[in-house]
Amino acid sequence: MNARKPATGAYKSNWRYAAVPGIVLVAAGLAEILFRTTHTSRLGSVFLIATLFTSYWLGSGPGYLAAAMGFVIYNIYLVGPRFDLALGATESFIALGSFLAVATLMGSLTGRVRDEAERAKTRASTTQALLDATRDFAASPDEDFIRERLAHHLAAAAKGAAVVREGHSLFTSPLELARLDEPLPLDLASHTVDGEPSVATTYVDQWTLRPLFADGSALGLAAWRPEPGAQLAAEQQTLLEILADAGAAAIARVRLAAAKANAESRVRTEELRNALLSSISHDLRTPLAAIMASASSLEEFGDSFDAATRRDLTATIQEEAERLNAFVANFLNMTKIESGAIVVQRTPFSLREVVDRTIRRQELVHKREVVAVQPRAAFEASGDPVLFEQALSNVVENAIRYSPPGAPVQIACSREEGRAVVRVTDSGGGVPPRELARIFDKFYRSSGVTSAGTGLGLSITRGFMEAMGGEVTAENRTGPGGGLAVTLKLAVAE
């Protein structure tokens, strides 16, 4: 492939200057007609109008040429003696000199106004193109989206086609460009300086290549070309290079934002891990300490204790061992949920029997009343009775833990809209509204809670219910006594 630099706009001057003779000849023909009709030679204004028109339409350079040509033709055709460049009377000399001065000045001023208007139009178009591109680049944190939009804006600015490449990914505009039987500029390896990617613009055949480079990193390659046979002006080329650099900066920004988010996530994860380890180690050490203290007391002073003291120490060991076993079971259940190892044995089961077993177990463990309220319709739900009992036990356990001493926990069973519904309500302080949606998150504990717990119970309940095709929700009670109401829903067995 042969490298070349595209034209920078000089080609536009050729047709602009080539159009000047035609405009002046039209003015000369009109002047000749007026001369023959009116028999007056004071027709310099015709050529002045031609100069003004040329300067406004084509610019100041063509305007100067029109003024010079108008001066010569005006002298030859209209100033006596006709068809002779020689000047006659002093009046003719003054008229021609005045015409040339006025025509040149008007051409210059009009051309400057026109050129400034063109530059303003170009600046406005460039500004709009950059604004549209930067809006697109800022609209998404996705690198591929930015590369796709970069290709689109490059193709629009070049009024042709564009390619953006990164690794093996290729983004083209128009989209069908990749399917055409034409070579695309895909190789960046040849655009290096001392083995490093070059950041300079290069030209290969009809394509302009611009490496995407930002923050010291090579981010790919952008290439564009105009329509076949067209060439890019200098201001177009500058705009395209700015667009390519803006796209590279946007990609670098996305990568920096992703790196920042990852770093912040790692920090938050580390802080959470430390907090959880501290909380869990405390929750595990408490029953272990009680078990070790009771066991060592029995071993060392067991013969000197009376029967009641020994029974009390034995009961402490049993209760704390069950508590420790519950902690371990929760960790294992959460591991199963997260790994997808939960096996659901779906079968019809009596909702009332499961609720009654849960009540008896919780009353036995916590030595407090759990009240089941009406209605308690005898119907069957569809699900895994073992998983549902564990899920319900976790909800009741949580309600008992956060209720005032002696305040009963209520359980209501009902059938609503073809679903089996179990609602557990307590008389605690409820949950702050902003935290209500998070109480089913793993390891989450509401602010202000000081009681022991790993924060896994409700999260495990949600995992079990979802595995059975059910759901669990929570809401603060608005009636007397306040508290929290947790609702479990399962399909009714057909």
Question: How many domains is the chain built from?
Answer: 2
Residue 100 binned pLDDT confidence (cut-offs 50, 70, 90): low
In angstroms, the CA 145 to CA 159 distance is 21
pLDDT at 440 over 70: yes
Residue 258 within any structural domain of the chain: no
- Give residue 488's pLDDT band: very low, low, confident or very high (50, 70, 90): very high
Residue 451 has pLDDT above 60, yes or no: no
Instruction: Give whichever of 18-32, 195-209, 247-261, 404-418 has the largest mean pLDDT.
Output: 247-261
Q: What is the mean pLDDT of residues 252-263?
A: 88
Between 171 and 117, the higher pLDDT residue: 171
- What is the tens place of the pLDDT at every residue in 378-431? 678 888 888 888 889 888 888 888 888 878 888 888 888 888 899 998 887 778
Cis peptide before 81 (omega within 30 of 0): yes
**Which has more pLDDT, 200 or 421?**
421
Last residue of a domain, one of 78, 107, 124: 124
Q: What pLDDT does 193 receive?
A: 40
Q: CA separation (Å) from 456 to 5, 386, 450, 474?
A: 68, 18, 15, 16
Domain at 391, CATH number: 3.30.565.10
Residue 327: band (very low, low, confident or very high) from pLDDT cuts 50, 70, 90: low
Q: Give the chain's mean pLDDT.
A: 76
Last residue of a domain, one of 124, 149, 180: 124
Residue with tokens 């209720």: 403
Report how far apart, in Å, the C-alpha atoms of 139 and of each of 100, 142, 287 are: 57, 9, 54
User: Residues 336-358, buried b or exposed e (16+ Cβ, 10 A)?
Assistant: bbeeeebeeeeeebebbebbeeb
**C-alpha neighbours within 13 Å on the C-beta side of residue 143:** 19
Task: Encode pLDDT of 49-89 as tens digits.
Answer: 777 777 777 777 777 777 777 777 766 665 555 555 554 54
pLDDT above 70: residue 177: no
Which of 93-97, 238-242, 289-293 has the lowest average pLDDT?
93-97
- Per-residue pLDDT of 3-55, as tens digits, reads 445 444 444 556 778 888 888 888 878 877 877 787 776 676 777 777 777 77
With respect to residue 436, please indicate whether it lies within any of the assigned structural domains.
Answer: yes
Least confident of 108-112, 317-321, 337-341, 409-413: 337-341
* pLDDT above 60 (res 143): yes
Given this model, what pLDDT does residue 194 score? 44
pTM over 0.75: no
Any domain includes 141: no
In a domain, 434, yes or no: yes
- CB-based contact 465:358 (threshold 8 Å): no
Does residue 374 lie in a domain region? yes
Whether residue 194 is contained in a domain is answered as no
Please give the average per-residue pLDDT across 350-376, as a whole number: 79
- Partnered with residue 117 across adjacent β-strands are none
Give domain status of residue 111, yes or no: yes
Kindly list the distances between the CA atom of residue 293 and the CA atoms of 217, 299, 301, in Å, as whole numbers in the listed order.
62, 10, 12
Between residues 423 and 303, the one the model is more confident about: 423
User: What integer pLDDT is reported at residue 487 of this predicted model?
Assistant: 92
Each residue of 464-478: pLDDT tens digit? 888 888 999 988 887
Domain extent for 33: 11-124
Q: 77, 108, 124 — which closes off a domain? A: 124
Is residue 117 very low, low, confident or very high in pLDDT (cuts 50, 70, 90)? Answer: confident
State the pLDDT at residue 287.
75
Mean pLDDT of 230-235: 79
* Rounded distance between C-alpha atoms, residue 409 and residue 399, angstroms: 7
Give the per-residue pLDDT at 338.
Answer: 60
Residue 490 binned pLDDT confidence (cut-offs 50, 70, 90)? very high
Report if residue 245 sits inside a domain. Answer: no
